[in-house]
A and B are shown apart, each in its own frame.
Chain A
Amino acid sequence: MKSTVDDARFPELSFSSNWSPWEEVHAHTPEQNTDLIFPRDKLVEEGSNVTFCYNSGINQNISCYLDRELIHGEQLYLNIFTFKLNNVPFIREGGTNIYCAVNYTIKDGTVLFVSKVLEEPKDFSCETQDFKTLSCSWDPGVDTGLFFDGQPSQHYTLFESFSGKKKFCEHNNQCNWEISRDLQETYNFTLTAENYLRKRSVNTIFNLTHRVHPKAPDSIHFNNVGATNATMTWKMPALGNYSTLLCQIELHDKENMRQEHNVSIKVNGEFLFSELMPDTAYMVCIRCANAKHVWKWSKWVTRTLITAEAAPSKALDVWRKVKPEKGLHHVTLFWKPLSKFHANGKILFYNIVAKDLDKKSELKLQSIPAPANGTELTLDQGSYQIQVTANNSVGASPASEIVISGDSGNEEVEEQKINGTKDGFLISWKPLSEDRAGYVVDWCEHQRNLHCELQWKNVGPNTTSTVISSDAFRPGIRYNFRIYELSTEKIAYLVENKIGYTQELAPSDSPQVKAINVTSHSFTLSWKDYDTEAQRGFIQGYRVCLKSKATQCHLDSVAELLPDNSTCCEHAINNPKQKIFLVENLQPESFYEFFVSSFTSAGKSPIGTFTKVTTQDEHSHMLMHIILPMVLCVLLIAVMCYWKSQWVKEKCYPDIPDPYKSSILSLIKSKESPHLRIMNVKDCTPDTIEVVNKSEGTKTQFIGIEKPLTESEFPKPANLYLLPAQDFCVPGPCISFVNHTYSESACDSGSCAHTPVPDTAPPCHLELLASPDNLLNTLEKTHTDSLGEIPAGKISLNYVSQLASPMSGDKDSLLIHSPVPVLCSEYKMQMAVPSCLDSPVLSENGSLSSMTLLGQDKHYH
């Protein structure tokens, strides 16, 4: 046993007494089945050595464990054992069970509380923000508290030696100390940490004015905020006039700190910012510290300062594209938006003014709302000065001028090829004139789009080359760079036009080829320029690939292995302007396939579908030379024959023989009959036709006529009288033919063949009156009967009159009564028909026989 004196107020007096002398005490033997372990609920520090005693009574085989780990034991007496634990670790706040067992039967146990070692407070310091309270703080380190009253957390005591005051701290990391009214200048603090097992102290001594930690400035305001300057005011709370403060002010924009200032103040501060950017948001930060001895700066306080807008400070970068059309200039203006640095505020609109330089008048004023970057104007072909300004809420930017002359857009210069690289294009040109304001290089950045996104670059007047680079440049895309020289009058003249690729690629497509002039031994291939987008490089020539059954290629071609392992004969065309190729030395009637590919410096276009051509037969050409004239001749003859057919017919085989030319005339003349003469149609007055009786059911067939007559047009006459028109008959002799087929007298006689022949009648042989003898006989009888010399009862032949329309050319044709209102009808051939044929003519069934005769010419019943 020993005693210890320990008082924070007198740390120098802390001491411990010596240990008392050992005293021997006899332990009683516990009762049966009553074990004893000692100490119980022991609290030790981490790393300590602990010895337990165990009085086992009558049991002598004892084992003790700490968290299932056997503890080394030593038997002091028969029933007394000791168990030692060296350097015990901290296990948990709730303590650790130690238990002892006899033959694995737990007899007793206890809990060992192991505390962490109390640490010395770190970073102990005190400071004041208001000269009223000192705030002391420290880092307490680990908490040594344990559960179940094992040990509470350590507590802290603050002792100030000059005043002799002591304070128990409520928190384990900070403590407040009231400053006396007399403003004690120096303080000497001792901070003591204590738990059940240990005490730890730290000390600090300081001058109060050296431990001033001001609070953050407040009441920060910006006054008189303009476009380039502003005034900031602020206050420092709580310090009063005890000390001078140094305030640090920083001005940041979005990217960097732009200004830094130090200002000394007492309580109220004021600072004027100048050289600010218009319409810019700044972050203003301020903090303060004691000016005489900077212990700690106050916290930063940040405020946002937004300056007012000002008129844009820079003219727009303007360029144009001119498209002349129908006497007008379609001008597309482009401009690049002003940077925030130059815009000095939000651009609201753009003003465009076009002045006619010839008429010295201001023509057009357009106001384009932002955020536009271009507009279109339509001007006549005069010269115009176009001014563009950007406007914000304060004012307009300086005007940007550009002049459109009458020749603008009509310039043509030859395209020049240039080679680009991945880094861009190096473009050089030759100046047009000495007096120039500069150059502009323009190009379309996205050539694939229909709408060209025009880009331009301004180059100084003394520069004749520049590098155009852009992230938008892509391999295989043709870019067109136009270099303009700007005169001092702001007129742009096209200097050069260059095209190039950052990297040429093999063509993606091949030309569309047609095979023309196919002969037996050759054909010609022809193609045109195709889309530059598919060319993907400068076309250097073409390759004609020809496949045929021939196994060997001609000398002017080489065998080329195709992707499908077939071969073709490849002819090289190294002139990109050549777009025609004659394939010759071919076999007649042979099958060929060809394909034309283009190539650039990067390679050939891919092989596509081959076009098939079959050469012609070798003799077909000769045949064409013979057969074609022959066919033409035959056709010519046929046309001639057709054209003269009427004449030939009239001459050779007229349909109606000319009675004056007929051989009958000679026969008549031989008879020397005074009554016989040729009937002249003009001498005859047509008979009047009267319908006497209309027989129902009788059908009249009009066969062989061009237009069938209907009942409405014609009645169906059963008997027709050919009545002499005595009143109208000319005084001259007129011969009228009575058609006895329909003659009433003939019918009354009962022997008229008008009576239909029964079907059982033997078939009549149609005797054509073609033979001269028959014809002659017939004509004789006809002539006789017409004069009434033949009695009705002896009629064996009926006359069938054939009436024809008068022909214009037949002035001498016979006049005859017709059913149609024709005054005179031509008398046509009077043919004798056997009586047996009479009936079929009238009967329905006999129409075929009648057709045979009537079909030779036009016939009217």
Chain B
Amino acid sequence: MPLLLVLHWKYGAGSPLPSVNATCATRHQCHSSVMSQIRNQLAQLNSSANALFILYYTAQGDPFPSNLDKLCAPNVTDFPAFHANGTEKAKLVELYRIIAYLGASLGNITQDQKLLNPNALSLHSKLSATADVMRGVLSNVHCRLCNKYHVAHVDVAYGPDTSGKDVFQKKKLGCQLLGKYKQVIGVVTQSF
């Protein structure tokens, strides 16, 4: 399942994965400290989210840095919900959906920014590092769901396809997504 997700993290990916009735089979048993690893990874994402957000809107040029509330407000439609007071299983399922959504969106943003701002190397590096950690979270959550809760399948949704959007809209959507990411990751990290 994670392999499928990773394969689908490509530019333009936006539609939900088709429901796959796969058996819950992992190559290895989860490590006993997998939850601890998930918490650490979330904390790592949470600590770098604001820096990523700042790097992004700075690289887009005026008027983004001075109009964050208008251009980068966390108004992302279809963003997966998260209930912090749910059971661990429910939270892990919701986390799985959120990370899958964010991972796909970050892929699109990274690709766009490499074309739009080829000289913004710090932004490219930060985007790639964030995507790497998210892949790790997704793997660990899947393992936990599979081993402990025997959840073999989670329906996920992705962000809107921006390939047809104009450059300004791409900049704006990317900024909104990173703003939302900064907001959500804090809540998620706190709940675990």
B118 adjacent to chain A (CB < 8 Å): yes
Q: Is the CB of A148 within 8 A of B61?
A: no
Determine which of A40, A65, A105, A106 lies in contact with B166 in the assembled complex, contact meaning CB atoms within 8 Å.
A40
Question: Which residues of the other chain, A, contact B112 by a CB distance below 8 angstroms?
Answer: 148
Cβ-based interface call for A424 (8 A): no
Interface check B67, CB cutoff 8 A: yes
Contact A97 B115 (CB under 8 A): no
Q: Nearest chain B CB to A144's CB is how many angstroms away?
A: 16
Q: Are B172 and A109 in contact (CB under 8 A)?
A: yes
Q: Which A118-150 residues have C-beta < 8 A from chain B?
A: 147-149
**B116's contact among A67, A94, A105, by CB below 8 Å, is which?**
A94
Question: Is A507's CB within 8 Å of the partner chain B?
Answer: no
Query: Do A97 and B62 touch (CB < 8 A)?
Result: yes
Q: Is A68 an interface residue when CB atoms closer than 8 A count as contact?
A: yes
Chain B's nearest CB lies how many Å from the CB of A277?
A: 60
* In the assembled complex, B71 has its CB within 8 A of some CB on chain A: yes
Contacting B at CB under 8 A, from A777-835, are none
Residue A111 at the chain B interface, CB threshold 8 Å: yes
Asked if B63 contacts A106 (CB within 8 A), the reply is: yes
CB–CB B167/A41 < 8 A: yes
B115–A110 touching, CB < 8 Å: no
A420 in the interface (beta carbon within 8 A): no
Residues of A within 8 A of B60 (CB): 97
| Chain B residue at minimum C-beta to C-beta distance from A66 | B62
> Is B70 at the interface (CB under 8 A from chain A)?
yes
| A95 beta carbon closer than 8 Å to chain B | yes
Q: Determine the distance from Cα of A94 to Cα of B116 in the docked complex, in whole angstroms.
A: 6
A219 to B62, alpha carbons, bound, how many Å?
A: 63
Q: Does A350 contact B (CB under 8 A)?
A: no
Q: Mark A32-74, 1 if CB is under 8 A from B, else 0.
A: 0000000011000000000000000000000001011000000
Which residues from A are CB-within-8-Å of B172? 109
Contact between chains at B67 and A106 (CB < 8 Å): yes
Write out the residue numbers on chain B whose beta carbons fall within 8 Å of the beta carbon of A67.
61-62
> A148, B167: Cβ atoms under 8 Å?
yes
Of residues 62 through 88 on chain B, the ones whose CB sits less than 8 Å from some CB of chain A are 62-64, 67, 70-71
Contact of A105 with B63 in the complex, beta carbons under 8 Å: no
The answer to whether A99 touches B116, judged by C-beta atoms less than 8 angstroms apart, is: no
Give A97's nearest chain B residue, CB to CB: B61
- A96, A106, A147: the one contacting B70 at CB < 8 Å is A106
B168 touches A111 (CB 8 A): yes
From B63, B70, B118, B167, contact of A110 by CB (8 A): B167
Say yes or no: is B183 at the interface (Cβ < 8 Å to chain A).
no
For B120, the closest partner residue in chain A by CB is A94
**B62/A147 in contact, CB under 8 A:** no
In this complex, what residue of B is CB-closest to A40? Answer: B166
Contacts of B118 in A (CB 8 A): 94, 147
CB distance from B125 to the nearest CB of A (A): 18
Q: Determine whether B117 belongs to the interface, using a CB cutoff of 8 Å to chain A.
A: yes
Query: Using an 8 Å CB-CB cutoff, how does the interface string of B162-173 with A read, 1 for contact, 0 for none?
Result: 000011100110
Docked Cα-Cα span, A19 to B184, in Å, equals: 54
* Closest chain A CB from B110 CB (angstroms): 13
Q: Kindly list chain B residues whose C-beta atoms are within 8 Å of the C-beta of A68.
A: 62-63
Question: What residues of A have a CB within 8 angstroms of the CB of B62 in the complex?
Answer: 67-68, 97
A99 touches B63 (CB 8 A): yes
Q: Which of A58-103 contact B (CB under 8 A)?
A: 65, 67-68, 94-97, 99
Nearest residue, chain A, Cβ from B165:
A40
B87: min CB distance to chain A, Å: 39
Bound Cα distance from A96 to B167, whole angstroms? 10
CB distance from B171 to the nearest CB of A (A): 8
A111 to B166, CA, bound (A): 8
- In the complex formed, the residue of A with least CB distance to B112 is A148
For residue B167, which residue of chain A has the nearest CB? A111
A850 CB to closest chain B CB (Å) equals 127
* Cβ-defined contact, A97 with B70, below 8 A: no
Chain B residues near A65: list those with CB within 8 A. Answer: 63
Residues in B neighbouring A105, C-beta threshold 8 A? 70
| Distance in angstroms between the alpha carbons of A40 and B166 in the assembled complex | 7
Say whether A147 contacts B168, CB under 8 Å: no
Beta-carbon contact of A94 and B166 below 8 Å: no
Tell me whether B63 and A148 are in contact (CB under 8 A): no
Q: Which residues of A contact B70 (CB under 8 A)?
A: 105-106
B111 nearest CB across to chain A (Å)? 10
Note all chain A residues with C-beta closer than 8 A to B67: 106
Give the distance in Å from the alpha carbon of A244 to the alpha carbon of B116 in the complex.
56
Greatest chain A CB density within 10 A among B112, B166, B172 is at B166
A110 B166 Cβ-Cβ under 8 A: yes
**Which residues of chain A come closer than 8 Å to B168, judged between CB atoms?**
40-41, 97, 99, 108-111
**Nearest Cβ distance between residue A529 and chain B, in whole angstroms?**
86
A111 to B, closest residue via Cβ = B167
* Bound-complex Cα distance A97 to B172 (A): 11
- Binary contact readout A133-171 vs B (1 if CB under 8 angstroms, 0 otherwise): 000000000000001110000000000000000000000
Q: Mark interface residues in B97-115 (1 if CB within 8 Å of A CB, else 0).
A: 0000000000000001001
> In the assembled complex, how far is the CB of residue B115 from the closest CB belonging to chain A, in whole angstroms?
4
Complex Cα distance, B171 from A110, in Å, reads 10
Question: Closest CB-CB distance, B43 to chain A, in whole Å?
Answer: 34
How far is A40 from B61 in the complex, measured between Cα atoms in Å?
17
Chain A residues with CB under 8 Å of B171's CB are 97, 111
Chain A residues with CB under 8 Å of B61's CB are: 67, 94, 96-97
**Residues 600-620 of A contacting B (Cβ, < 8 Å):** none
Cβ–Cβ < 8 Å partners of A94 in chain B = 61, 116-118
For A111, the chain B residues whose CB sits under 8 A away are 166-168, 171
> How far is the CB of A202 from the nearest CB of chain B, in Å?
30
25 contacts between A and B (CB under 8 A): A41-B168, A67-B61, A68-B62, A94-B116, A94-B118, A95-B116, A97-B60, A97-B64, A97-B171, A99-B168, A105-B70, A106-B67, A106-B70, A108-B168, A109-B63, A109-B168, A111-B166, A111-B167, A147-B115, A147-B116, A147-B117, A147-B118, A148-B112, A148-B116, A149-B115
The 3 A-B residue pairs whose C-beta atoms are closest, nearest first, are A40-B166, A111-B167, A148-B115
Interface residues of B (CB under 8 A from A): 60-64, 67, 70-71, 112, 115-118, 166-168, 171-172
